[in-house]
């Protein structure tokens, strides 16, 4: 499925369905009564008591009900909407930015689409079922259950000992370290296109001397395309080049302004052009930037210059809304990334909202775009159904983000059991598939936590990404071994692969306000000493083959309940409310001085 972002234009209208929806969880003992009773055939209110639920948001932290916070199974949303009378000759599309995890959508009681996967958009034309006069009802059933074949994978654990558990008792087992927030997490849009419409646009850029070379390909649907006009428009609104009657072509931007990553020095990061496409009257404006990415055996190059990633790993996570889209949070996060002097983040561990990615493009923040392939740790997660789904997810993800200059690397997974023999064929296939679907041929990787001595899958990556926790999960409290162990590990990887390396995670849980000197685990002092030891090693290899460092994590985030987690993972250099811990100041001092050093560019 093609999935251009819904944009207003002279030929298209976008209407939001965000707001307060009716909501009801199917808490029946079978977890399935809502399907027996066919809740989609009538207003939810007619099936039983409903709650008011905001869209977009996770539902988990909205109410005071523990059972709903920890709910596993089907929840139902519905609301009324109207279609403007003047949409009569248009295609009418209903689009979800995402819903976690599995979703079924009905309009006026007719099923219009399903979607498998919690982090990517889906849409469908609803002309056949929509009323052009009078009200319509959209019903959505969302199921958050994670199974061995979902991404992320998980499993259900059933308890049969009636002396210890109620009859039918089961819990969701997770293989990832973050709360399984669920619901309609992103925007719901209704939008129109003409009957003959622009279906997809793919843009691949390169640089030739001072010129930008823009290769574009437009696909259309719904009839033979008429007249085609394609223009490149600068950020300032100047038409740079124009082309007629070519759905596929190459245009040159003379004296191109390149897309550069953000630095704390005065510069002009994130310069964006727009490809204005007009196909027989359907008009779509696709933003793009001109930049190149390349990997040598020791360097990561953006526009031919060495790039060193001063990075953070993030989560879509905040108080109350969970993983729900929130513009205030997005703006605060980008401001705090710049305050830290960061130039890069990883979408750990799933594709983030398109509205977040837009800011990365505009503000010049580089992105390692990671799939929801987190926690692929059990043998049963490497089977053919898992593999096929993983490839579908990579197709959808590349399809969504392919035109983004901020995205320089695809990460297909985080910390899989890449020492299992099953991992070899699995990752060969997923990585080759990802290369295949990306016309821009960005580097592809997965984030490893295995040992360089027994890993069977890093042979397929373009750039090595490694997570390390010396002095935290091993040798807890012993910051004095970090330099030694990290150096040996980096040299070890290097001896097996002549590829540049990014340390994609390192971090220590820290309760803000907790102090102890000499430093002790969980205190602000420990986090600072711990990170400083890593930094010394990074500085040793920064001039060799280390091309980036990413702290785990940008901010504290919620996890499942666990004796190792004090209301969530506390490895943030910021609190969950995005206020700095001492380590935030430490990281800022480092990143600002490095990003000001001329050796980087």
Tell me which residues touch ligand E9O (CB under 6 A): 177, 349, 415, 449, 467, 469, 473-474, 505, 552, 569, 571
Nearer to ligand E9O, 202 or 553 (CB): 553
Instruction: Give min distance, CB of 171 to ligand E9O, in A.
Output: 20
Instruction: Give min distance, CB of 154 to ligand E9O, in A.
Output: 14
Task: Out of 123, 354, 370, 415, pick the active-site residue.
Answer: 415
Instruction: Give min distance, CB of 467 to ligand E9O, in A.
Output: 5
b/e 522-555 (16+ beta carbons within 10 angstroms → b) = bbbbbbbbbbebbbebbeebbeebbbbbbbbbbb
ω before 349 within 30° of 0 (cis)?
Answer: yes
Nearer to ligand E9O, 40 or 178 (CB): 178
Instruction: Give min distance, CB of 349 to ligand E9O, in A.
Output: 6
Nearer to ligand E9O, 122 or 472 (CB): 472
Instruction: Give min distance, CB of 348 to ligand E9O, in A.
Output: 6
Contacts of 163 (CB under 8 A, 6+ apart): none
Nearer to ligand E9O, 284 or 452 (CB): 452
Contacts of 525 (CB under 8 A, 6+ apart): 515, 516, 517, 518, 519, 582
Nearer to ligand E9O, 334 or 552 (CB): 552
Nearer to ligand E9O, 61 or 415 (CB): 415
Does residue 85 sit in helix, strand or coil? Answer: helix
Rounded to whole angstroms, the Cα distance separating 53 from 39 reads 17
Instruction: Give min distance, CB of 549 to ligand E9O, in A.
Output: 15
Rounded to whole angstroms, the Cα distance separating 276 from 12 reads 14
Indicate if 525 belongs to the active site. no
CA atoms within 13 A on the CB side of 450: 22
Contacts of 31 (CB under 8 A, 6+ apart): 72, 73, 74
Write the DSSP assignment of 435-465 as a string of letters: HHH-TT---EEEEE-S-TTT-SSGGG-SSEE
Q: How far apart are the first and last CA of the chain?
A: 39
Question: Is-contact 55 19, C-beta < 8 A?
Answer: yes
Distance between alpha carbon 260 and the CA centroid of its chain, in Å? 21
Active-site residue numbers? 415
């Amino acid at each position: 499925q093609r999935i251009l972002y819904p944009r207003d234009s002279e030929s298209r209208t976008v209407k939001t369905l965000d707001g307060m929806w009716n909501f009801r969880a199917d808490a029946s003992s079978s977890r399935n009564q809502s399907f027996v009773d066919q809740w989609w055939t009538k207003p939810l209110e007619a099936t039983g008591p409903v709650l008011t639920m905001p869209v977009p948001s996770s539902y988990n932290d909205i109410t005071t009900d523990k059972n709903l916070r920890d709910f596993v199974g089907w929840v139902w949303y519905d609301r009324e909407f109207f279609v403007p009378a003047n949409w009569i000759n248009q295609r009418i599309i209903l689009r979800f930015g995402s819903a976690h995890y599995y979703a079924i959508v009905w309009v006026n009681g007719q099923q219009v689409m399903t979607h498998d996967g919690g982090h990517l958009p889906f849409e469908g034309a609803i002309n056949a079922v929509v009323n052009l006069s009078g009200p319509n009802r959209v019903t959505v059933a969302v199921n958050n259950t994670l199974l061995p074949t979902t991404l992320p994978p998980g499993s259900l654990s059933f308890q049969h000992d009636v002396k210890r558990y109620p009859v039918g008792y089961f819990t969701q087992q997770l293989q990832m370290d973050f709360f399984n927030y669920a619901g309609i997490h992103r925007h719901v849009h209704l939008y129109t296109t003409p009957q003959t419409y622009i279906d997809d646009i793919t843009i691949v850029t390169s640089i030739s001397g001072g010129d930008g070379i823009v290769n574009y390909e437009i696909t259309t649907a719904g009839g033979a395309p008429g007249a085609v006009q394609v223009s490149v428009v600068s950020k300032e609104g100047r038409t740079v080049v124009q082309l007629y009657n070519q759905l596929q072509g190459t245009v040159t931007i003379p004296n191109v302004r390149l897309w550069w990553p953000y630095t704390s020095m005065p510069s002009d990061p994130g310069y964006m052009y727009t490809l204005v496409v007009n196909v027989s009257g359907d008009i779509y404006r696709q933003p793009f930037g001109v930049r190149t990415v390349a990997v040598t055996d020791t360097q990561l190059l953006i526009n031919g210059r060495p790039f060193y990633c001063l990075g953070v790993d993030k989560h879509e996570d905040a108080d109350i809304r969970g993983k729900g889209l929130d513009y205030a949070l997005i703006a605060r996060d980008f401001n705090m990334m710049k305050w830290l002097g960061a130039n890069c983040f990883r979408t750990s561990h799933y594709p983030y909202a398109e509205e977040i990615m837009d800011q990365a493009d505009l503000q010049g923040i580089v992105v390692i775009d990671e799939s929801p392939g987190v926690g692929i740790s059990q043998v049963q997660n490497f089977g053919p159904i898992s593999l096929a789904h993983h490839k579908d997810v990579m197709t959808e993800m590349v399809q969504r983000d392919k035109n983004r200059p901020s995205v320089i690397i695809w990460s297909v997974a985080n910390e899989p059991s890449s020492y299992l023999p099953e991992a070899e064929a699995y990752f060969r296939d997923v990585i080759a598939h990802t290369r295949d679907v990306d016309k821009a041929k960005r580097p592809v990787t997965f984030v490893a936590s295995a040992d360089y001595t027994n890993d069977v899958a890093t042979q397929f990556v373009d750039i090595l990404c490694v997570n390390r926790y010396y002095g935290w999960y091993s040798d807890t409290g012993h910051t004095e071994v970090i330099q030694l162990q990290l150096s040996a590990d980096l040299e070890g990887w290097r001896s097996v692969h002549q590829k540049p390396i990014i340390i994609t995670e390192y971090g220590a849980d820290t309760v803000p306000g907790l102090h102890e000197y000499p430093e002790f685990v969980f205190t602000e002092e420990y986090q600072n000493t711990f990170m400083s030891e890593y930094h010394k090693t990074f500085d040793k290899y920064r001039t060799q083959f280390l091309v980036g460092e990413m702290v785990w994590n940008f901010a504290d985030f919620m996890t499942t309940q666990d004796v190792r987690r004090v209301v969530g993972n506390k490895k943030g250099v910021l609190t969950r409310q995005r206020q700095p811990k001492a380590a935030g100041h430490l990281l800022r001092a480092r990143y600002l001085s490095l990003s000001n050093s001329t050796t980087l560019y």
